[in-house]
Amino acid sequence: MIEENEKLRSLVLEACRGLAAYGLGSGIGGHVSVRYPNKPFFYMHVFERTFEEMQLEDIILFDFEGKSVSSNRSPSQGIEFHHGIYKQREDVQAIVHSHGFWITAQAAFARPPRIFNNVSTVFYERTAVSPNDDFASISQSLGSDDIAIVIPWHGAITLGSTLGEAVSRHVVFGYTARMDVTLPTSAPTMLVEQCSSLRELVEQAGYFDETWALIRRKAKAAYNVDRVIPLMS
């Protein structure tokens, strides 16, 4: 019997509440998971709770076949792509998926988001587009260096080497998507050479570590003992 890792469970809860604080979790659907260290298991939450409502008891341990280790509560059917990605990409330690408004709106374009600012450059040439939301489609689309996946007319997935990285990337992806959707088609996107150089600079600056710290602060500030009240949309 594998031991529960309460630290990881608590981090998943913080991630859910942080995403909720950013307005990414008001409805049923969307999921967060993190790999159990050095074992074919991962933590993910149950299906029937929104990010805003999530509590520690809603975070469940699953094996790499998508079966619960110690609970009869049901996860999202999307659990398939979590254990599928973990098996395909050993570098991925955490996965976030949401149906945030701007993310879903951008996904309707069925392409990667356009790049208009420095922090968005991390997605340049590292965003896959899957033709469907099943793992068979995602697997064929996902490259070895991709950190985000657009699921047309559905939402998006972000990946990370840590849970904080996956969550931070998701929040920034939402920001990137909002710019893509609201700026006109005539708006000039960032030059290719700038995308490459700024992407390297942003990653070296530790931007996503600081963003994860900010998300955790917002999660704490937005939680009112019962649920998260979003701080921003």
Q: Which residues touch 63 (CB under 8 Å, ≥6 apart)?
A: 40, 41, 69, 83
Q: In which domain, by residue range, is 24 found?
A: 6-222
* Tokens of residue 219, six digits: 């999660």
Give the total number of structural domains in the chain: 1
CATH assignment at residue 212: 3.40.225.10
* Tokens of residue 13, six digits: 């809860």
Q: How far apart are CA 47 and CA 74, in angstroms?
A: 6
Whether residue 212 is contained in a domain is answered as yes
Whether residue 1 is contained in a domain is answered as no
- Closest-CA residue to 199 (of 219, 169, 226, 224): 169
Whether residue 119 is contained in a domain is answered as yes
Whether residue 233 is contained in a domain is answered as no
Whether residue 230 is contained in a domain is answered as no
pLDDT tens, residue by residue, 165-205: 999 999 999 999 999 999 999 999 999 999 989 999 998 99
Whether residue 232 is contained in a domain is answered as no
- For residue 223, the surrounding DSSP H or E stretch is none
Whether residue 83 is contained in a domain is answered as yes
pTM for the model: 0.96
Whether residue 227 is contained in a domain is answered as no
pLDDT band at 233 (very low <50, low <70, confident <90, very high): low
pLDDT tens, residue by residue, 23-74: 997 788 899 999 999 999 999 999 999 999 999 999 999 999 999 998 888 8
